[in-house]
Copies of this chain bind each other. A is one copy, B any other.
């Protein structure tokens, strides 16, 4: 009762992927556990090896998490494949951080601009929540989290999932690292900057929002990264007459 065609694992990945996203859309929040590999193999009429290759693939894509001795669960870590790719591109961690930050400096002011045009009520609500969380944060850790949440909400409001993913990737990279926004400048100034940005977005003033965000990024010393690398071409040109 078997139909041993080829590339089962590839098609299986797509099937299971679709099934998973459908399932998780149906019951979001609940940490779904997949059936055991053996059971899954029987149900899908394939060998365990094929199931394993499929789950491996989905794990690499940040959709599943496989725990030895425990099971396989659905997760949402779409940024992790990005990090992996960047890791291949730039083995040095500081390089990655620098270049990702460079991208952030390029993109985030314009995200603020887009957010000012596009933000829905829910988006604004989320930003306000993050802002009030930052205001009431007691510990450094809580402040950092609230800060990250504000920027995440802003990216979401801008309506560009790719930018969102990129910033997520940067956040992941900077997590247990120095260069946490808050640590640079302190809580109070960050709060003020965010307030200015949020105000501009609520007022639907794209240019003002972009300028405020640029100022924010400049204030947290991110501009230093940009300037230093600006001043250091890979290979200096001969002086031009």
Contact = CB atoms under 8 A, between A and B. Distances in A.
Contacts of A120: 233-235, 237
Interface in A162-203: 162-163, 165-166, 203
Taking chain A's interface residues, is the majority helix, strand, or loop, or is none over half, making it mixed? helix
Interface in A220-239: 229-235, 237
Contact of A82 (B6, B82, B121): B82
A6 B67 CA distance: 12
Contacts of A231: 117
Nearest to A79: B85
A230 B207 CA distance: 13
B204 A237 contact: yes
Interface string A142-158: 00000000000000000
Contacts of A78: 85, 88-89
B89 A230 contact: no
Interface residues of A, number: 58
Interface of A: 6-7, 9, 17, 21, 49, 52-53, 56-57, 60-63, 68, 78, 81-82, 84-86, 88-90, 99-100, 102-103, 106-107, 110-111, 114, 117-122, 159-163, 165-166, 203-204, 206, 229-235, 237, 240
